[in-house]
Amino acid sequence: MINKKFKLFSNCFAVKGINRGIIIDFQRKNYYTVPNQIVDLLDEYSGKEIYSLFSDFNNDKPILKKYIRFFLSNELIIVNNDISQYPAISTNFERPYSIDTLTLDSNLDKSILKNFLEMKIDGLGVSNLRMINEVFNLQEIIETLKFIDKSRIKSVVLYLKYAVGLETELIKLQNKFPRIVEVVFYDAKEIPNNSKFIYEQKSLEEVLAMKIRNHDDFTMELSNFNESLKYNFAYNRTLFIDSFGNIKRYITDESIFGNLNTHDLNKIVQNNEIIDFWEISRDKINVCKDCEFRYICPDGSVPLKTTQDKYYTSSQNCSYSPYSNKWS
C-alpha cells in the first residue's frame, strides 16, 4: 500500500485554524479535528505515494500510520495507483439571480407588498422569503402568502412576536401553505414543549443575528462551504425591507439604499457598498479568520469596519473560541 498514491476524497476538505484543523466530510455531514501539521501534510503530499511521506518523515512513522489508518477507517482518503480517476470537485460559487433571501416586515403597505410579491419578486430570483409579523393577524398572513402563490419562492419562514395560544392556527396555516418551512417566535416569555416551532427569548434583532450556540448549528452543505470561501454566508445575496419599504442590508442597518415603492431592487443590488458587504468573508473578520470552522459557520454577526487594521470585527462575541477550542 505504501507505493500507492493518496488524496482526500473529493467531497472532503481540510481547513486550518490557528490552533488546529478540521477535515470536513460533506457526504456524511461530519467533521474531524486534526493537528494543523496533518492538514499541511495532506496538502503537500496529496497525489504522492505514501512511501514518500514515510520517507521524508521517517521518525514520525508511528504517528503517520495512526492517521493513515484513521483516514482509511473513516473513508476520508483514496489510496490508489491512479488517483486521476478521482477529480476534485469545483469550489466555484455562482448563482444566476441577484438575491437568494429576502427578509421583509409584513406591516409594509399592502398595495406595495402585493405589487412587489406578485409582479417583481420572481425577477430577482428570490427563493427564500422571511416574513416578520410583530402582531399576529391570520387573515393578513394568508393574504400575503397568496401573493406568492404562483411565485418561484421555495421556502417561507415566519417570525412572530410570541403570544399565547397561536399554535393551533399556525399548524393549520402550515398545512394549507406547505412552503412555510419554519415558524420562529421571538420575545418568548416561556418556552412551551412544542417541537413544531422555534421559541426564542431573544429580541427579533438578536434572532436574525443567528448567533451560533454549538456545533449543531454548523451548515454541512458543500454549496454553503463554497459560498463561504468568498462571501459572507449569513448575508450574501440577502436584503432587508422594513415596514416603510426602506431597503437595507440587515435589520439594524443605519444605511438606506432606496425604497421598495420607488426603486428597482435589481439596480439596488449593484450598489458597491452592498456588494462589498456581501464579500466580507470570514477570512476578513478578526477572530473568525483564525477559526477552523469559519467555512461551515452560519453566524450572523454583522461585520464592522475597524480603523486599526484591514480586518473587520464582529458585532457580537462568538460562543466558540478558536484560541482555546472551547465553547462558552
Mean pLDDT of the 178-191 span: 94
Backbone angles phi, psi at 48, to 5 degrees: -105, 170
Q: Could you give the CA distance from residue 286 to residue 28 in angstroms, rounded to a whole number? A: 30
Confidence class for position 297, pLDDT limits 50, 70, 90:
very high
State the chain's mean pLDDT as an integer. Answer: 94
Phi and psi torsions of 130, nearest 5°: -115, 120
CA distances from 226 to 11, 75, 219 (A): 12, 22, 12
34 within 8 A of 305, measured Cβ to Cβ:
no
Task: Report the 10 Å Cβ neighbour count for 53.
Answer: 19
Angle, CA of 300, 253 and 232, to the nearest 5°: 35
Residue 273 belongs to what domain range? 101-321
Residue pair 162/188 in contact (Cβ under 8 Å)? The answer is yes
Using the Cα atoms of residue 199, residue 202, residue 206 and residue 212 in order, give the sign of their dihedral.
Answer: negative
**Is-contact 230 272, C-beta < 8 A?**
no
Q: What is the mean pLDDT of residues 188-209?
A: 91
Q: Do 198 and 167 sit in the same domain of this protein?
A: yes
Residue 231 has phi, psi (to 5 degrees) of: -120, 170
Note the pLDDT of residue 52: 94
Does residue 289 form part of some domain?
yes
Are residues 117 and 74 part of one domain? Answer: no
pLDDT of res. 95 = 84
Q: What is the mean pLDDT of residues 290-296?
A: 98
Q: Domain check: are 233 and 152 in the same one?
A: yes
Is residue 155 included in any domain, yes or no?
A: yes
Q: Are residues 188 and 200 in contact, defined by beta-carbon separation less than 8 angstroms?
A: yes
Where among 52, 85, 118 does a domain terminate?
85
Residue range 215-227: mean pLDDT, rounded:
96
Q: How much of the chain, in percent, has pLDDT values that exceed 90? A: 89
pLDDT score of 309 more than 80: no
pLDDT value at position 275?
96
Query: Over 90: is that where the pLDDT of 294 sits?
Result: yes
Tell whether the model's pLDDT for residue 2 goes beyond 80.
no
Is 326 domain-assigned?
A: no
Q: For residue range 7-19, list pLDDT tens digits in order.
A: 999 999 999 999 9
The pLDDT, as a whole number, for residue 125 is 93
320-321 and 312-314: which strand pairing? unpaired
What distances in angstroms separate CA 61 from CA 64, 79, 236, 248, one per listed residue? Answer: 5, 17, 44, 56
First CA to last CA distance, the chain: 43
Q: Which domain CATH number covers 308? A: 3.20.20
- Same domain membership, residue 67 and residue 133: no
Average of per-residue pLDDT across 246-251: 98
C-alpha distances out from residue 115 to 109, 129, 131, 152, Å = 10, 16, 16, 16
282 three-state secondary structure = helix
Would 95 be classed as within a structural domain? no
Per-residue pLDDT tens over the stretch 142-180: 999 999 998 999 999 999 999 999 999 999 999 999 999
**Which of the four pLDDT bands, split at 50, 70 and 90, describes residue 265?**
very high
Q: Is residue 223 assigned to a domain?
A: yes
**Residue 84's pLDDT band (boundaries 50, 70, 90)?**
confident
Which tens digit of pLDDT belongs to each residue from 38-80? 999 999 999 999 999 999 999 999 999 999 999 999 999 999 9
In the chain, % helix, strand, coil (3-state, to 5) comes to: 30, 20, 45
Q: How many domains does the chain have?
A: 2
Give yes or no: residues 193 and 284 share one domain: yes
Is position 96 within any domain?
no
Instruction: Please report whether residue 94 resides in a domain.
Output: no
Which of the listed residues 85, 117, 135 is the one where a domain comes to its end?
A: 85
327 within domain boundaries: no
pLDDT higher than 90, residue 195: no
pLDDT band, residue 191 (cuts 50/70/90): confident
Q: Residue-wise over 279-295: b if at least 16 C-beta within 10 A, else e?
A: ebbbeebebbbbbbbbb
Q: Is the pLDDT confidence value at 194 over 80?
A: no
Residue 17: CB atoms within 10 A of its CB come to: 19
**Is 67 found in the same domain as 160?**
no
- The pLDDT assigned to 269 comes to 94
